A and B are shown apart, each in its own frame.
Chain A
Amino acid sequence: MSTDSHRGLCPLQQYFNYLFKFKKIGLALFLVVGLAGFSQVSYSADSSINTANTGEAALRTDQPLEKTEFSVDIARLLTQASFGATHASLAKAAGYGSLEAWIDAQIDLPVTLQLPKVQALGHASFRPPRHYVWWQTAFSAEDQLRQRVAFALSEIFVVSDIDYTLGNAQHGVVHYYDMLAASAFGNFRTLLEDITLHPVMGIYLSMIRNEKADPLNNIRPDENYAREIMQLFTIGLYELDEGGEPIPAGNPTPSYTQHDVEEYARVFTGWNFADSPEWQSNNLTQYDKITPMVPQEAFHDTGSKRLLGGVVSPAGLSAREDLEIALDSLFNHPNVGPFIGKSLIQRLVTSNPSKQYVARVAAAFNDNGSGVRGDLAAVVKAILLDSEARQAPNSADANTAQNFGKLKEPLIRVTHILRALNATAGVNAESQLHMFSKTNDAAGVLLGQAVLSSPSVFNFFSPTFRSSYTLSGDEQVPLYAPELQILTESLLSAANNDLHAMLYDSNNRSNKVGRSAILDIDAPITMLRKGRDVYLEHVNMLFMSGGMSDNMMNVLSEFINERVGVPNSEALTNEAISTVNHRLANADEDLAESIVVDSLFMILASPEFMVQR
């Protein structure tokens, strides 16, 4: 590969050059997507999902959502596989006729790239554009499944910009994210190499300018990347069975030793920025953070290395030859399927998958049905179409039904609210690149989570985090609640109060200028006027995938009865319900708005809404 050809190109051209690597998608498509993205510099409400439907029959978003077996299935899928269901996305997905058809169509959609938009909004040290464009993308991109999987991958193959070096390399960081999105349905082996050679990862886990040992000066290779690629990106700490359980149970065998770390550390020597002729410099700001790293053979350890699985990389190989052998040795380790499969299940579907579920996904990783190992599209389909993902909440097995699901990640809880209520950025929020929330720092500060800004390579939370409830369970089958690690008392109350402000002070009726997201409550008011149960079924589908408990439904019904002056002691008669509906149809605007805002707040602040099932 020639590296000089990248010199002198503008960042956008370099970007396209880089993306030519991804063979599945053609040049023309890249230009269309890239340039369309580039011209769409600022957010406008017109680009939202309502107008994104290309060429299909107009979606009837004026009709309330109804709860059927199929509509619930679709709604649950969109909760797992998008940044939150919307009225339009539910209607459109239903049009595909099956879950699999929707997934296939999503996989075929071109990637929405964020770098061109971020570059247009400021220099590489300016942090707000990267978050702003991420929210914009989560909110309105058509390739929801790809973006959702990219977000999941960003929590497995973690880089974080909280240190100053990457803090000043925002364009490189967002390019890394675009790379995850572009590779989300490709092959894991390709992804592993792209990650390994990305200069942002090179900086984050210090593989860049890692040099061979210098015994005279008592210097040995940096072990950082060697350790984390094994522990976090491929095989984990212990030997695993196909269901992702450490073996042997109780006293599992470590999957690698300190010596193995040192051998792989020798492999990952001799890589530098593509545009850096020099090796030693502590100022990393000036170099290319987008083009993959290139070898500088003089600094590569050419001795033979003993790798995992009995693989030996013989003496005398180049940096790239050694790297290929080492990545193959990790890629072919039997742990990868269950390890990565379980990680993705936990990000998308449930915190506590059964061993059988993990094993089925691992099998899809090992062989996509055509003899190909590491096909991520096949893995994602296996995760989302698995019987456990689809049916566990109604399982006849009490434990399966009880333990299924996950606490929503704070970011995704908010993207869902904004998407479902067709949020637009207020004028002030948009001009200051606020992330659809009340301050510039809001996402990270109020939610405890901001994309690619986790405290360490161990992500925002641990996949094995346990709490007082999960801890009280059976120690032989420990239960986990990873997201609970960042749902702390003060963050939850802050997020609650932010939600309160958005609903009460910043909806499209009370505030049209806005320092934050403006929620559209006209649509739910229209549904409320169609009747109490019609409204509740609609919001149940929109926000809770039709899974609202009877109890919660009843609490909300009684709330509405009360607000229109029908005593709950009488509310069960058909006559009383007719009165409720009649009064809702004829309620003055203030009352209707008040009922909608109060009821939406209660739903979105409820414990049931915090959980995805």
Chain B
Amino acid sequence: MTSMALAGLASKPVQAAECAGGPKSLICLFLAGGADSFNMFVPVGDGYSEYRSTRNDLAVDESDLLEVTDTQQGAFGFHRSLDVMHQMYREGELAVVSNVGPLLGPTAQADVGNLALLPESLFAHNTQQKLWQNAAGNISGSGAFGWGGAMGVQLARCNVAANVPGVISINGSNTWQTSQDGNYMALSPNANIERMYGFDPGIATWIPEASRQATSIRLQQMLAHASSENQPLLIREAADILSRSKNVTQQMEETFDNFTQADWEPDYRNKLERQLHLVTRLIEARESLGMERQLFFVRMGGWDTHSNQNERMPLLMNELNSALGNFRSALSALKLSDSVTTFTASDFGRTLTSNGNGTDHGWGGHNFVFGGAVAGGRVVGDLPSYAKINNPNDTGDKHGEFAGRIIPTQSVGQYGATLARWMGVPESSLTSMFPDLSQFKKQDLGFMT
């Protein structure tokens, strides 16, 4: 859709249907490296012994699980490092979405031998991150665009009053937010968000005014020339990102001057918490920024636990838990919980089998959605089998043996479409946004109210 068409729609007198329901913010929390979610959320009771036998030395002890129940599926436990998730689940604000992953359609064990029926380059980090973020099943062509970016395009008319994009990365560029119009901004919790000296004559006032005026005017001329059509591709790129930086930092610095409530003191060592702190500030300011819809991307790395998993996973989960706890409290204090939803995503789930003291790249994995608008306190979708023998969910290896890589039973498209609907994306747009969706009977996983 061209920007002119968008502008035309935006000028309609009454608020468009997708913008109804007040401001909403959606956060993609990407656990980079492939989180071993099979050890974050574990079956207890009858299912536990099978899990224990398959995971062997990597199994979480039953005594380390914080128990919850699902009315349909029975008892489960969160790893005790995830007590905030446990608490949210019990309070009905968190749903566990079982065994999600990229799929072209419902996929059985017999399909795994046929590459044409499978998403591209399974088990590789970068391709699977991309497939989670583009929901396209392939990485070339339109696969360069993400479903967050596509939602941003759809919902742009809700943000007509905004001077900066409502699609905001707090962790650099990513596929999820990329769209044809490139309309997103990337802020960093590591760098002060301050206006650009030299480009803006109103700051750095210790420098003589003649210098400030002259440099800002001349830099504008250079930017304008570098942006012109006949300039080399990468010089246009440079001019584009410089102009955006100038605009974004100016807008943000002015906005943040007026909002201080969300300014809790984040733990400097917790990188995720620092990102979520910035997210909170941007959510607090969203109406002032003219944004009815915000889409955030945050990232926590370190989950590629091929080795020392039993030591590393608790540290990672503690860090995640601590950040989520403070984020939740801050949103609650601002009375914004009901209009903010956070969902996890990750490269892939990991192998159920051990490689001695860690796990390798798998496919399906559990994910977590939380916020006041989540129909929480339940497990969405059946848990896969953890059996070593005759496991129908296993990819199987070439010799028909157990591989420990679990075929997803719910797709990224189903997961994403459920979230997109909550954000107000019209039904008619969902099938192009999520190409696999039409292959599934269930087009909404029902975890949003």
Contact = CB atoms under 8 A, between A and B. Distances in A.
Interface string B195-220: 11111000010011011001100110
B208 to A, nearest CB: 7
Interface in B156-193: 169, 172-173, 178, 180-182, 185-188, 190-193
A607 interface: yes
A224 B356 contact: no
B357 A282 contact: yes
Contacts of A17: none
B238 to A, nearest CB: 4
Contacts of B241: 484, 487-489, 492
B414 to A, nearest CB: 25
A407 B237 contact: yes
B172 A486 contact: yes
B17 interface: no
A50 interface: no
- Which of the listed residues B196, B236, B238, B249 has the most CB atoms from chain A within 10 Å of its own CB? B238
Give the most central of B191, B221, B244: most A CB within 10 Å.
Answer: B191
A466 B174 CA distance: 10
Contact of A402 (B223, B232, B248, B311): B232
A414 B243 CA distance: 20
A222 B355 contact: yes
A551 B227 CA distance: 12
Given A223-B360, A470-B237, A607 B353 contact: no
Interface stretch (B87-95, B302-310, B377-385, B435-443): B302-310
A611 B238 contact: yes
Contacts of A471: 144-145, 178, 180, 182
Interface in B221-256: 221-223, 225-227, 231-242, 244-246, 248-249
Contacts of B355: 210, 219-223
Nearest to B311: A282
B286 interface: no
B354 interface: yes
Contacts, number: 256
A126 interface: no
A308 interface: no
B32 A455 contact: yes
Contacts of A227: 123-124, 361
Chain A interface size, under 10 / 10 to 19 / 20 to 34 / 35 or more: 35 or more
Interface string B13-50: 00000000000000000001100000000000000000
Contacts of B310: 282
B248 A489 contact: yes
B134 to A, nearest CB: 12
Contact of A608 (B190, B238, B245): B238
A217 interface: yes
Nearest to B399: A259
A258 interface: yes
A494 interface: yes
A479 B127 CA distance: 18
Given A218-B353, A406-B234, A489 B186 contact: yes
A465 interface: yes
A607 B208 CA distance: 24
B388 interface: yes
Residue with the greatest number of chain A CB neighbours at <10 A, chosen from B233, B244, B360: B233
B121 interface: yes
A468 B308 contact: no
Contacts of A393: 232
A552 B225 contact: yes
A465 B172 CA distance: 12
By size class, the interface of chain B is 35 or more
Given A224-B360, A254-B121, A496-B198, A608 B235 contact: yes
Contacts of A3: none
A220 B233 contact: no
B238 A466 contact: no
Contact of B356 (A211, A492, A613): A211
B232 A489 contact: no
B397 interface: yes
Interface stretch (A186-194, A309-317, A417-425, A555-563): A555-563
A607 B222 contact: yes
Contact of A222 (B145, B236, B306): B306
Interface stretch (A37-45, A334-342, A531-539, A594-602): A594-602
Contact of B238 (A407, A465, A485, A555): A407
Contact of B198 (A402, A549, A602, A607): A602
Nearest to A165: B308
B398 interface: yes
B247 to A, nearest CB: 8
B189 to A, nearest CB: 9
Given A469-B236, A496-B198, A602-B215, A210 B356 contact: yes
B234 A351 contact: yes
A607 B239 contact: yes
Given A280-B357, A282-B311, A488-B169, 14 more contacts: A211-B356, A222-B360, A237-B121, A258-B123, A282-B308, A403-B232, A404-B232, A490-B186, A493-B248, A500-B198, A555-B221, A556-B218, A594-B210, A602-B215
24 contacts: A162-B302, A211-B356, A222-B360, A227-B361, A237-B121, A259-B397, A280-B357, A469-B237, A488-B172, A488-B187, A489-B245, A493-B245, A494-B192, A496-B196, A496-B245, A501-B197, A559-B218, A563-B210, A594-B208, A606-B226, A607-B227, A607-B239, A610-B242, A611-B232
10 closest A-B pairs by beta carbon, nearest first, are: A468-B182, A488-B186, A494-B191, A607-B238, A206-B307, A500-B197, A607-B226, A222-B355, A610-B238, A206-B306
